[in-house]
Chain A
Amino acid sequence: MSNPVIELRDVKKSFGPVEVLKGVNLKVYAGQVTALVGDNGAGKSTLIKGLSGVQPYDSGTVLFDGQEVDIHDPIQASQLGIEVVYQDLALCENLDIVQNMFLGREELLQKTLDEPSMELQATKALQSLSVRTVKSVRQKVSSLSGGQRQTVAIARSVLRNAKLVILDEPTAALGVAQTEQVLNLVQRLADSGVAVLIISHNLADVFKVCDDISVLYLGRMVTQIETTETTQNDVVGYITGTKSVED
């Protein structure tokens, strides 16, 4: 297998006396969907925040494309090619899809907004993910469903040429059909060569789209295992701590 896009080695993070990440290792590969599962409070969000630069780690090594990097703010993470799709979506309802996809990175022509160029790129990004549910790229986000909003948020990371896309519980608020759509989208994103790290509590979803499952238990990575080599029952065991790799 090729080199991982991102690799964490012995990453630690404490809040005062509480050690939340106790030396975590993780590898995420291009073109693969890696699941990050674990019970509430296991440290998943803390792990993500270190990668997105919101909350840097205390110690440990982060390798991006094999290079050691020190991610200490969100802008730097974004420059490396790390995009996070937050659970609460971070879209502006009063703006349309194009405007949201380019928010904060508007393209200019003679100091004014270059609308045709942005519209074209947004359309292509959506098409590249075979998005079928969106009627018009000039639709206001307020008129979109939850799944369509996730779609826009994910397509935004395509536009930004992300190498690693992190999704925090992307299907938590969605119905069956929309969950299906978003999972398909995640699959296509990975197929296009992006490394995807997805946090989920829904093991059925995880087994549907993920190539790789990594399980956090009380701040330790119990295992990172290929989906084909494990079962849902085993993963539940890892998550709840009733099973460890030695068993």
Chain B
Amino acid sequence: MTNQNSTGLNLAAQDIASGHEGGVVDQVKAYFARVKNGEMGALPATGALLVLTALFSYLSPYFLTKLNFANLFVQAAQLTTLAIALVFVLLLAEIDLSAGVAAGVAMDVFYLTTTFGVPWPIGLVSALLVGVVLGFVLGFFVAKIGVPSFVITLAFFLGLQGVALILLGDGGLFRVEVPEVRAIMNDNLPVWGGWLLLAIVLLVSGGMGLYDRYRRTASGLVNRPLSLLLIKLAFMAVVGGGVVYVLNLNRSASVKEISGVPIVIPIVLLIIFLGTFLLDRTKFGRHLYAVGGNPEAARRAGIKVVRIRITAFMITSSLAVVAGLFHVSRIGVVEAAAGRTIVLSGVAAAVVGGVSLFGGRGRLIHAALGAMVISIIDNGLGLLGLSAGISFVVTGTVLALAATVDAVSRKRSGGIRRS
């Protein structure tokens, strides 16, 4: 409110809308109008989730069991984190094919340091630093020197596999003996912890929603109907409540009870929350989208394009290390071959979720939904006893399909239309 209209322009009578006007019905109509325009957002992934769940429940009696339900979330946690990591470079229309093996090398560093007696938190910080440094180097090559990200990250994809072999020696699995790390994917919150988590999620969502409304009202702007926020919260409460309820049931086949929300879930939720906050509510996030949408426009607006690009690569690599940590936690070992294949699943997850390969379009929650879709495909096909070969073929097909949808919807929403 600092400096408008010092030129003393007369305000015209007519108002310009902000998209917040009208009741629930208008808002729903506006949403579908956007979908028709090619802004499909989370819709395809949500649809795919429902269809796949129905399909696999029908095909396999094991799919909807309590144990598999929990497994699905744990499996998806790793892929979700990797997909989220990749969103930061995908938003710039870049790619990081080395994210998986970079995470592998970082976890090798974690293994080596902790094995030689370094306390695990320091080992973890070292691993994250490996990610930060690798990301910086990649970003430097792409943003400063101008090497296409596809090529430089492919080079790192190969080179880092070599580094992993050098660090660990040929072949073999190496046990990671850190209980805190094993706990992430294998231990659960107590029953009350799951409900507390749900309460926190609802409180934070509701609180932020109300705060945004308050700020708009204070500025004299129109708000969307309050019922829309309530519907959203109710939806989250029902879905989240269902998930927590099922995860809190005993899913053990033996005497020892296993129940509760896996510890990894609050960690992933926190990553999504912080990442989304960064992208939606900070200058850095806005500038990241701008550079992804039109680098020249961003440059002319005074945005430091090189700095934004390098930072994005650093975030991607570091978050990929967290995904690597989840992987090590689940299988309990490091190996030289870690992280080679998962990166394409990560890209597939992001794109299936609605993150555009052309840059500038997509949200973290989309990548998370996409990761859930890919995980369900993996998990479901596994339960049907189909070979890994089939699973690769299906995932590849889904990626091709999603990329096609991406290209088509970009055509539909892009380009100048005459009014």
Q: Which of A93, A123, A161 contacts B293 (CB 8 A)?
A: A93
A158–B7 Cα distance when bound, in Å, is: 9
Q: Is the CB of A90 within 8 A of B416?
A: no
Closest to A90 in B: B297
A131–B128 Cα distance when bound, in Å, is: 51
B 344-384 binary contact with A (CB < 8 Å = 1; else 0): 00000000000000011100000000000000000000000
Q: Is the CB of B12 within 8 A of A128?
A: yes
Interface of B, helix, strand, loop or mixed by DSSP = loop
A240–B216 Cα distance when bound, in Å, is: 56
A131–B219 Cα distance when bound, in Å, is: 21
Residues of A within 8 A of B286 (CB): 95, 99, 103, 106, 113
Selected interface stretch from A59-67, A132-140, A197-205, A227-235: A132-140
Q: Is the CB of B215 within 8 A of A116?
A: yes
Residues of B within 8 A of A136 (CB): 16-19
Could you tell me the distance in whole angstroms from the C-beta of A157 to the nearest C-beta in chain B?
11
Closest to B361 in A: A94
Could you tell me the distance in whole angstroms from the C-beta of A169 to the nearest C-beta in chain B?
16
Q: Is the CB of A137 within 8 A of B17?
A: yes
Q: Which of A91, A108, A128, A138 contacts B19 (CB 8 A)?
A: A138
Q: Is the CB of B418 within 8 A of A94?
A: no
Residues of A within 8 A of B160 (CB): none
B 49-86 binary contact with A (CB < 8 Å = 1; else 0): 00000000000000000000000000000000000000
Could you tell me the distance in whole angstroms from the C-beta of B15 to the nearest C-beta in chain A?
8
Any B CB within 8 A of the CB of A145: yes
Could you tell me the distance in whole angstroms from the C-beta of B409 to the nearest C-beta in chain A?
11
Q: Which of A92, A127, A138 contacts B18 (CB 8 A)?
A: A138
Residues of B within 8 A of A134 (CB): 16
Q: Is the CB of A123 within 8 A of B413?
A: no
Could you tell me the distance in whole angstroms from the C-beta of A156 to the nearest C-beta in chain B?
9
Q: Is the CB of B11 within 8 A of A103?
A: no
Residues of B within 8 A of A95 (CB): 286, 289-290, 293
Any B CB within 8 A of the CB of A9: no
Any A CB within 8 A of the CB of B301: yes
Q: Is the CB of A148 within 8 A of B9?
A: no
Q: Chain B: residues with CB nearer than 8 A to chain A? A: 1-12, 14-20, 37, 39, 212, 215-216, 218-221, 281-283, 286-287, 289-290, 292-294, 296-298, 300-303, 359-361, 413-419
Shortest 5 CB-CB contacts between residues of A and residues of B = A104-B301, A128-B9, A94-B293, A94-B360, A92-B293
Q: Chain A: residues with CB nearer than 8 A to chain B? A: 74-75, 78, 86, 88-95, 99, 103-108, 111-113, 115-117, 119-121, 123-140, 142-149, 158-159, 161, 175, 178, 188, 192-194
A-B contacts, 19 of them at CB < 8 A, read A92-B290, A92-B294, A92-B298, A95-B289, A103-B286, A104-B287, A106-B283, A112-B282, A115-B215, A120-B1, A121-B4, A123-B16, A125-B4, A128-B7, A129-B9, A136-B18, A137-B19, A161-B7, A193-B7
Given A94-B289, A138-B18, 12 more contacts at CB 8 Å?
A94-B360, A103-B298, A115-B215, A120-B220, A120-B221, A123-B15, A127-B16, A128-B4, A137-B17, A145-B418, A146-B416, A148-B419
